[in-house]
Structure 1
Amino acid sequence: MKLTVAFSAHNDPTRKGNAPRFLRLMSCFAGGVFLSTCLLDLLPEVQAGFTKVFEDSRIQIDYPIAELVIIIGFLLVLTVEQTVLSCEEKHRLPSTNVMNMPLLDIDSSDDESVDNRNTEFSARLRSFALLIALSLHSLFEGLAVGLRNESTGVVRLFTAVAIHKCILAFSLGLKMVQSKLSRCTILGSCLCFAVTSPLGVGLGIVFDAVLSDFTSVAVTAILQAIATGTLFYITFLEVLTNEINAFGDRFWKTLCVTIGVVSMASLVIISE
């Protein structure tokens, strides 16, 4: 019997991954964009939204409710991913008692193939979670534009949102390509992300005419917090972890993450 020893990409210094070097560096840039978006853009918006809800309802509470809802969003993606992967493993792995198998009959290539399939499936699942999170964020940005009444504020906010959305669209498309999704799936995802801001503008105009300020702010704050937790999960457990721990280009990867953070930090200053 043949005993095959498999090494992961993190342990094999001669393997640099399937993606070209440029894509890996751009993925680090995307990680910096997502990191800055989480901490400098989404988190302050969520905190401000919940603060306004509590002020309007005249509720005084010291407990960090906004942060708790963000954690719920984080755990939601974690639970869904681990549940699906657990079902995949039970379906694909043979129901054999490993303890009763001879040592020489173990072929680790089977385990490697299962791990590779689970890794690819996990990457695709996280890509869709990223799409949902960024689409919700884009929807809420459109809502902010639609709820503005003064023309000067609308033009300034629209310009900031457009620039911000371009960088996020590039980062989202990059992660979709790296997840080895089909071309039709990538195009459909990009189209879905593209229409969210115009849809948000239309909903903002409708909400301004129909719903009360309290209801719209409360719903927006809750959904924005869940989206923030989702983006936190994708940023730290998918993008930055995989790319930073991969072999080689340590300086350039760090530089790309820094450039991504600085880019989004600059846009936050412009949009203020």
Structure 2
Amino acid sequence: MAELAWSPVAAPRPPPGLGAKLGALVLLLLLPLGCGLGPLCCFTPGPGADAHSAVLSLVSCFAGGVFLGTCLLDLLPDYLRSISAALEGLRVTQLQFPLAEFILAMGFFLVLVLEQIALAQREPPPAAEESRSLLPNGSIQTPPASPSPNPGARGAVRAALLVLALALHSVLEGLALGLQEADGAVLRVCLALLLHKCAVAFSLALKLLRARLRPRAVAACLALFAMMSPLGVGLGTAVAAGAGPRQRLCRGVLEGLASGTFLYITFLEILPQELGVPQHRVPKVILLLAGFALVTAILFIKM
């Protein structure tokens, strides 16, 4: 009786960088959530809030330097190589239109449009007195005062729009991490995101508490905000697993959108907000350069 030969079947290899992405996913969920829940236990409106704001501003400047270095020295070169390889795989070699730069700009404008729409919904309408002051006295009748909406309901709506805008940011940020393949790139992007998200979570909690939202509502908003970056990491990891030319092109497009998000956060969110305040200018610049130098040193050691 002939014996049947048995040969072991090789198990499918996990995607590259999967272990680092899982660790980053857990950190991106727990650390920002912990930083956001901290003010719920120790928030006291008064002079102490100014000290918290000063420390938070310095941390944001360091995070801005890390974001700037990660975007210019790491994400952008990887994205340009990825989109070039994807187009070559589809045999598109003589494209006259600057497609790579256009995709990058679309990522920038995507976040800009979403944030401005959210801010437009939050801003109160202009006061009627400003327009009436330009007219002669008695030329216009003062309209009867309309009943003002409930301040608590208005604050809840504005808080919801703020959390929604930040959640969309976080998904795109996590997408940039999930699309990485090398462990070193995953760790560098994770460092940038952790610094930024922890500072944003702490600031978000303070804003929501100052708006007099209930602690349970604040905790729910923080939990939603903390879950968005891990969601983006999962989506990016799923897209990065594709090996076909169309999957590589899709991955390159998403990398460009994510890189545009990093550019927007660095140049229109972190740097103008922090450097536009006159206090602590020199320490802010030093921390900005320190964050950039940290990413530069990590990339140099890697080489």
Query: Is TM (by shorter chain) over 0.5?
Result: yes
Q: TM-score, normalised by structure 1?
A: 0.69
Q: 3-state DSSP class of the match of 1:20?
A: helix
2:79–2:255 CA contact under 8 A, matched in 1: yes
1:83 alignment partner, one of 101, 108, 117: 117
1:30-85 CA distances to partner (integer Å, 9 max, x unpaired)? Answer: 11111112111111122111211221222212432111111111112222222333
Equivalent residues in 2 for 1:144-183 (5 A)? 144=181, 157-158=182-183, 161-162=186-187, 164-179=189-204, 180=207, 182-183=218-219
In structure 1, the residue matched to 2:289 is 258
1:94-141 CA distances to partner (integer Å, 9 max, x unpaired)? Answer: 784743358999xxxxxxx9xxx8998886565334312220111112
1:28 alignment partner, one of 61, 66, 70: 61
Structure 1 stretch displaced more, 132-141 or 252-261: 132-141
1:147-195 CA distances to partner (integer Å, 9 max, x unpaired)? Answer: xxxxxxxxxx325523541442132111222233533433443344346
Two-structure CA RMSD over aligned residues (Å)? 3.5
How much does 1:270 deviate? Answer: 4.2
1:32–1:256 CA contact under 8 A, matched in 2: yes
Compared with structure 1, are the counterparts of its residues 46 and 158 closer, same or farther at alpha carbon in structure 2 (3 Å cutoff)? Answer: closer
Count residues in correspondence: 226
Compared with structure 1, are the counterparts of its residues 204 and 84 closer, same or farther at alpha carbon in structure 2 (3 Å cutoff)? Answer: closer
In structure 1, the residue matched to 2:222 is 186
Aligned equivalents of 2:161 and 2:269: distance in 1? 9
Aligned equivalents of 2:240 and 2:271: distance in 1? 34
Structure 1 stretch displaced more, 70-79 or 119-128: 119-128
Compared with structure 1, are the counterparts of its residues 226 and 247 closer, same or farther at alpha carbon in structure 2 (3 Å cutoff)? Answer: same
1:173–1:186 CA contact under 8 A, matched in 2: no
Larger Rg: 2
Could you tell me which amino acid in structure 2 is paired with residue 186 of structure 1? L
Compared with structure 1, are the counterparts of its residues 198 and 80 closer, same or farther at alpha carbon in structure 2 (3 Å cutoff)? Answer: closer
How much does 1:88 deviate? Answer: 3.7
Could you tell me which amino acid in structure 2 is paired with residue 185 of structure 1? C
Return 5+ residue gaps in structure 2 as ranges: 1-48, 143-150, 209-217
Q: Does 1:66 align with 2:82?
A: no
Q: Does 1:217 align with 2:248?
A: yes
1:160–1:267 CA contact under 8 A, matched in 2: no
Identity level (%):
27
In structure 2, the residue matched to 1:237 is 268
In structure 2, the residue matched to 1:8 is none
1:29–1:259 CA contact under 8 A, matched in 2: yes
- More helix, by proportion: 1
Aligned equivalents of 2:186 and 2:57: distance in 1? 26
Aligned equivalents of 1:264 and 1:158: distance in 2? 15
Aligned equivalents of 2:161 and 2:70: distance in 1? 23
Return 5+ residue gaps in structure 1 as ranges: 1-15, 106-112, 145-156
